[in-house]
A and B are shown apart, each in its own frame.
Chain A
Amino acid sequence: MARDTVLSFTEKGLYCPAGDFFIDPWRPVDRALITHGHADHARPGHARYLCTKGAAPTMRHRLGEIDVQTVTYGDKLTLGDATVSFHPAGHVPGSAQIRVEVAGEVWVVSGDYKTTPDGLSEPFEPVACHAFITESTFGLPVFHWRPQEEVAAELNAWWRDSLAAGKRPVLGAYSLGKAQRLLSLLDPEIGPILTHGAVEAMTAILRDEQGYDLPPTVPVTPDTDPKAYPDALLLAPPSAVGSAWSRRFGPASTGFASGWMQLRGVRRRRAMDRGFVISDHADWDGLHAAIKETGAEKVFVTHGYTDIFTRWLNDQGYQARVVETEYTGDDGEGE
């Protein structure tokens, strides 16, 4: 029976009895291993945090004074009777899958992940295991991401067209992860990129402290003169798009980037002028490829289209089941 006890699913989160730690718990615990800094995975209130070197600075920024220990991808750590290591998840810069080994049995918690490289996050690395814990945010066969350079071309064309039509392009994106990915896709030749405070804070940490390759940005302050930046694009959290903050830059053409933009209905509900299909989660084919490459027999599905995806996995011969968690993945609503 030891085979089943690598991780158990508790009311506080995923728990490893052999090492006495939790992974991405949603209630305060003594020791929390964190896959990445998004709010549904890295929550406040734990006594001790453990995460990658890449994830720690933005987590500190979000959570304030926390007791955090960092590791490098691939380093093996012994916690009690468990051996733990972090491996790139390709979701956002610094994000990790967490490999837990107890008595020769290996489980991998993937947090949120995507399998195609985005040129910014450390590319997803398949980790062989007996049991794989996966998300399924886009676990339906209608979700297929097009190559990133095609969407980048659409984005930049929209920037140019908006300026030509006398409109200010205002692009909404999560401040951690999605915003920086968009920055890396936008063409600084067209004009300067003005950033909202929340986006700028995360960008500054990743670019200036951690050395990720991101273009220069101009943080918007109350003194910023819109007339001084006729060609600029505004990058802001979704909640700021259409707010007084963006309105002072004149009539806008609004855009939003998310995997949900694949669905016309969701695109229409957001009521943005343009929706760009860019996701930091795996699409249908990506989920599969990832699961297959782990060689796992057992799959636990944590968030997204859990029931449907689980049934499909069982049809494919996996032993899959749904695990209730409080992760939201990308709920398409922004922060």
Chain B
Amino acid sequence: MKRFARLFARIDQTTKTTVKVAALAEYFREAPPDDKLWTVALFSGRRPRRAITTTKLREWAAEKAGVPLWLFEEAYPIVGDLAETIALILPPASRQTDATLSDWIAHLRALTDRDEEARKAGILDAWDQLDPTERFLFNKLLTGGFRIGISQKLMTRALSQATGRDEAEMAHRLMGDWTPDSVTWETLIEAEDASADASRPYPFYLAYPLEDAPESLGPPEDWHAEWKWDGIRGQLILREGEHFVWSRGEELMTDRFPELARAIDFLPSGTVIDGEILAWDAEAPLPFNALQKRIGRKTVPKTLLKEAPVIVYAYDLLEEHGQDLRDHPFAQRRDRLASILTDLPPEAPLRLSPTIPFTDWQALSDTRDTARDARAEGLMLKKLDSPYLSGRKKGDWWKWKLDPLTIDAVMIYAQQGSGRRANLFTDFTFAVWQGNDLVPFTKAYSGLTDEEFRKITAWVRKNTLQRFGPVRQVKPEHVFEIAFEGIHESPRHKSGLALRFPRMSRWRHDKPVQEANSLADLRAILEAHG
């Protein structure tokens, strides 16, 4: 564990990508194969089966630290991370150990079959021989979610440096449904012929936001335009008579969208499609709100399948007849995609995301302004001669989103942040006018600069009217412009409305509270865009 802890500390201590990659590459050259394999697994979101519930971990840690459970629970949101809270709250270890990362994982796996008493003893014993960094990492193995500032891109770069293999190949090798039990370091990383399993997706190509005028992209005839849909980006894989659905975050979502299983009836094996999963009402996409009900559900009740059925709105073809098409120009891939989708009957769970023809940028810009009517977030621009790259690379794919909707609102409650923002007030509730009352309608956490957060934090401390536990009611004095992507009815909220992606886009120092918007203004936006 010491070697792994050293790697983590080196990565965590720097903000420079080159240093992180160098530390990882060195580790991948020197660590024992089992440790390396587990490191790749952990940093790509795979982890050992949960040996202990987090409830038990909290109880045991609080008990060992001699603090009441409520105090532990208060400290946790401020620290922002359960593994770290436990690591910090426990008394110092009484001894040391040379056990490696894979030794500890084996230790944890052995505990899963034991009774609670044995598990507790095993965990307390581990805590007592790990230093704070090792303890934090050990706890991460228990609590899951190893998000520690290592992107897939960074890891593939380091693997490529350590092995001398191509970065894109590394990225592809790491995709898919493997676990440290199903592969070895040798078969996953080093073997000449990476015999992929059928579910392995291609790394997604991600677009950059277009910030300059579209004219900067050159002649319009080099570009393809289509709507930017507000759904879930997904890769539909049909291979060996099976189908798999992957999210952009490399999560296997096959079971969440059972209606996509029928794709096998209409398309041959050896087909991989990139597209948007959307809730669909036979002719057009439903608002994101409908799809939202499907997210996070591992099994879908029948009524919901009827209420919010999904389709794949296809926009790219990555594999046809088992052949990788990613090096082919976009125009060609798109033509082939169109030809395999054209004659599909309406019951097929796939549609071709339509092309938006245009000849000059101004006309396209006018079309973009109507995106909300099409239930889209804006436009996608793709270069016709571009290959399908991996990761976020500038130049060939651009997202050209609509400007967000905005409303001016009054800050009425404030709460301290957690983790990165533990000592600042960063979580705010905003209200709009209804007659002489301020009605809360949304929370927002982001959009201000660190400097602005510092200023508002100092102000909150001096202008608290009342406290409700961690929440402070503050003087209604500051107006913020709240930007958001959508709005819909929501009986659960006091205002009867809910916003999508609300954030603070501007601190309106220039606006007196009386001039903030009203609930009627919000309702008008709902009528126009809901």
Contacts and interface: CB of A to CB of B under 8 A. Distances in A.
Contacts of B462: 326
Given A262-B88, A308-B74, A315 B423 contact: no
Nearest to A330: B423
A159 interface: no
A265 B80 contact: yes
A268 B147 CA distance: 13
Interface string B202-236: 00000000000000000000000000000000000
Interface centre among A143, A265, A307, A308 (most CB of B within 10 A): A265
Interface string B461-472: 110100101100
Contact of A273 (B15, B421, B464): B15
Contacts, number: 77
Given A273-B15, A307-B467, A328-B461, A141 B420 contact: no
A324 B466 CA distance: 11
Majority secondary structure, B binding face: helix
A308 B79 CA distance: 14
Given A268-B420, A269-B420, A271-B15, A142 B71 contact: no
A312 interface: yes
Contacts of B89: 141-142
Contacts of A331: 423, 454, 457
A161 B64 CA distance: 37
B81 interface: yes
A147 to B, nearest CB: 11
Interface in B123-141: 136
Given A263-B79, A324-B464, A328-B461, A140 B74 contact: yes
B359 interface: no
B477 interface: no
A264 B68 contact: no
A219 interface: no
Given A142-B85, A265-B79, A328-B458, A307 B420 contact: no
Interface in A278-335: 305, 307-308, 311-312, 315, 322, 324, 326, 328, 331-333
A77 interface: no
Contacts of A48: none
Contacts of A266: 420-423
B420 A265 contact: yes
Contacts of B521: none
A297 B178 CA distance: 61
A315 B68 CA distance: 10
Given A274-B13, A312-B71, A324-B464, A144 B88 contact: yes
Interface in B72-94: 72, 74-75, 78-81, 84-85, 88-89
Nearest to B88: A142
- The 8 tightest CB contacts between A and B, nearest first, are A265-B419, A142-B88, A265-B420, A269-B420, A308-B74, A140-B75, A141-B67, A332-B423
Given A141-B71, A311-B70, A324-B464, 15 more contacts: A140-B71, A141-B72, A143-B88, A260-B423, A262-B88, A264-B419, A265-B81, A265-B418, A265-B421, A266-B422, A268-B420, A269-B421, A274-B13, A305-B78, A307-B470
25 contacts: A140-B74, A140-B75, A141-B65, A144-B88, A260-B422, A260-B423, A263-B80, A263-B419, A264-B81, A264-B84, A264-B136, A264-B419, A265-B81, A265-B421, A266-B422, A266-B423, A269-B420, A269-B421, A271-B15, A274-B13, A312-B71, A326-B461, A326-B462, A328-B458, A331-B457
Interface of B: 12-15, 65, 67-68, 70-72, 74-75, 78-81, 84-85, 88-89, 136, 149, 418-423, 450, 454, 457-458, 461-462, 464, 467, 469-470
